[in-house]
Amino acid sequence: MGEHPDTALVRQGYEAFNKGDEQTLRSLLTADCVHHSPGSSQISGHFKGQDNVLGMYRRLWELTDGTMRVELDGVFPDGRGHAISVHKIYAERGDRGIEMRGGIFFTIIGGKISDLDECVADIEQVDEFWGTE
């Protein structure tokens, strides 16, 4: 059996994110997509629309001087337009680093990602790492 199309879509997104490939990421997202990022740091919130979502990703790469990467552990589709990913993030920012497990709950419509609801193992640690400015 081949890989489920929703699994392949999510894997492609992770690969593009790790390469900083905004063109591919844009092609995988609906125009009105939303990425929900937990916590109360400068990268927390609800980012609506491709430009805002990609702008937030750009901010992640800028804040970490390009050191941020996400290692995908698995993708689990439900066959009804949802998939859950499990991953580990690695990044450095100034004199601090972070290594943490997390995941994203994806909603997929028409073969594109419309909603990303991110979860992390330790919200307080993530907030401390990203800071407010």
Question: Quick one: DSSP state of residue 78?
Answer: -
In whole angstroms, how far apart are CA 79 and each of 10, 57, 75? 13, 27, 12
Q: Are 122 and 41 in contact (CB under 8 A)?
A: no
pLDDT score for 2? 85
pLDDT score for 103? 98
Backbone angles phi, psi at 56, to 5 degrees: -65, -40
Residue 51 tokens, joined: 């430009």
The amino acid sitting at 53 is V
pLDDT score for 43? 95
pLDDT score for 6? 98
Question: Quick one: DSSP state of residue 65?
Answer: T
How confident is the chain (133 residues) per 10-residue block, as mean pLDDT? 93 97 98 98 97 97 96 97 98 95 98 98 96 85
> How many other CB atoms are found less than 10 A from the CB of residue 14?
17
Class of domain 5-130: alpha beta
Q: Are 9 and 28 in contact (CB under 8 A)?
A: yes
pLDDT score for 133? 75
pLDDT score for 132? 87
Q: Give the domain ranges of the chain.
A: 5-130
